[in-house]
């Protein structure tokens, strides 16, 4: 079988590892900045093994963080507060 590559790029990125506690949960995140994401960042939730490419518009979308990170409304609110600071 021959592979058909859509892309195979190597790029220097900036990765930030953040751990913090909220009222209801601990959060362990890896945040990757790259020119590939058009101003957005790749946020990886290490505990829940979920990731999403997120920009400031996504943070404000109702129910978005709850869905992509499989978090409760209270947990997503804590995550949203942090990501607002990060992306501003």
- pLDDT single digits (tens) 8-39: 999 999 999 999 999 988 999 999 999 988 88
pTM for this predicted structure: 0.88
- Give the contacts of 11 (CB within 8 A, at least 6 positions apart): 34, 35, 36
Tell me the per-residue pLDDT of 27-79, one tens digit each, with 9 for 90 and over.
999 999 999 888 899 999 999 999 999 999 999 999 999 999 999 999 999 99
Contact 18, 35 (CB under 8 A): no
The answer to whether the CB of 44 falls within 8 A of the CB of 51 is yes
Percent of the chain with pLDDT over 90: 88
Phi–psi pair at 18, nearest 5 degrees: -130, 130
How close are the terminal C-alpha atoms of the chain, in Å?
46
Are the CB atoms for 71 and 24 separated by under 8 Å? no
Domain spans of the chain, in order of start:
14-87
């Amino acid at each position: 079988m021959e592979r058909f590559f859509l892309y195979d790029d190597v790029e220097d990125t900036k990765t930030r590892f953040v751990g913090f506690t909220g009222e209801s949960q601990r959060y362990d995140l890896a945040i990757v900045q790259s020119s590939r994401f058009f101003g957005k960042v790749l946020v990886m939730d290490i505990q829940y093994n979920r990731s999403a490419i997120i920009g400031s518009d996504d943070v404000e979308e109702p129910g978005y963080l709850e869905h992509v990170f499989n978090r409760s409304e209270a947990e997503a609110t804590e995550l949203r507060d942090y990501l607002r600071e990060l992306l501003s």
